[in-house]
Amino acid sequence: MKCSFIMASLSALLLSALSLSAQEEPTMSAVEAAALAAADSYSLFQSSDSPSSHPADEKGRDPGKAFYLSLILPGSGQIYNGKFLKAVLYAGADAYLIGSAYVNQGRYEDSGDLSDRDERNKYLWWGAGTWLLGALDAYVDAHLSLFPDENIRLSAMGTGQSASISLNFHF
């Protein structure tokens, strides 16, 4: 069930990226359509009489919610999980890639050079990949929010010409 729901979301995102790279001018309607398709696929796999397949943990982090927040707005799933630096990095990377695609679209319209179109498509694909990676990262972070990190300690020591690293697990 989980796999088919993720596959439906991935296919909606890939179809959106394909339609954006095939168009002469990138539009937000294709991105909005992908977000709506992802939201619809999520609701298909959630029945009203059964609990969510990804219940919220004690900290209130629902992996499905983190995934879809990040699909709707890059970095919002990381904010939901409390990972603010990751949120800035994912949102910044997506903003840069989409902005670069927009700039190359303008160059392509002005010159008609096919290399500008290819550059635009490259940035759109990288942007879609980064967007999806951010959503998957938010999903995994929400699942790992209860991981007992206090039982793992990494320490490093160095003196003169020797160094050591130790990793301690406490059960």
Where do the structural domains in the chain lie, given as residue ranges? Answer: 2-47+58-145
pLDDT score at 131: 94
Residue 72 exposed, middle or buried by CB count within 10 Å (0-12, 13-18, 19+): middle
- Residue 50 scores a pLDDT above 80: no
Question: Averaged over 81-108, what is the pLDDT?
Answer: 93
pLDDT score at 98: 94
Element containing residue 165 per DSSP (H, E)? strand 162-169
pLDDT score at 160: 73
Q: How far is CA 11 from CA 4, 68, 89, 124, in A?
A: 10, 14, 25, 16
pLDDT score at 94: 95
DSSP 137-150: HHHHHHHGGGS-GG
Distance CA 146, CA 75 (A): 21
Q: What is the pLDDT of residues 102-157, one digit of tens each?
A: 999 999 999 988 999 999 999 999 999 999 999 999 999 998 877 766 666 667 77
pLDDT score at 92: 95
pLDDT score at 161: 77
pTM (whole model) above 0.85: no
Q: How far is CA 140 from CA 37, 80, 115, in A?
A: 22, 12, 37
Q: Which residues of 134-161 are buried (b: 16+ CB within 10 A; e: fewer)?
A: bbbbbbebbbebeeeeeeeeeeeeeeee
Average pLDDT over the chain reads 74
Return the higher-pLDDT residue of 139 and 11. Answer: 139
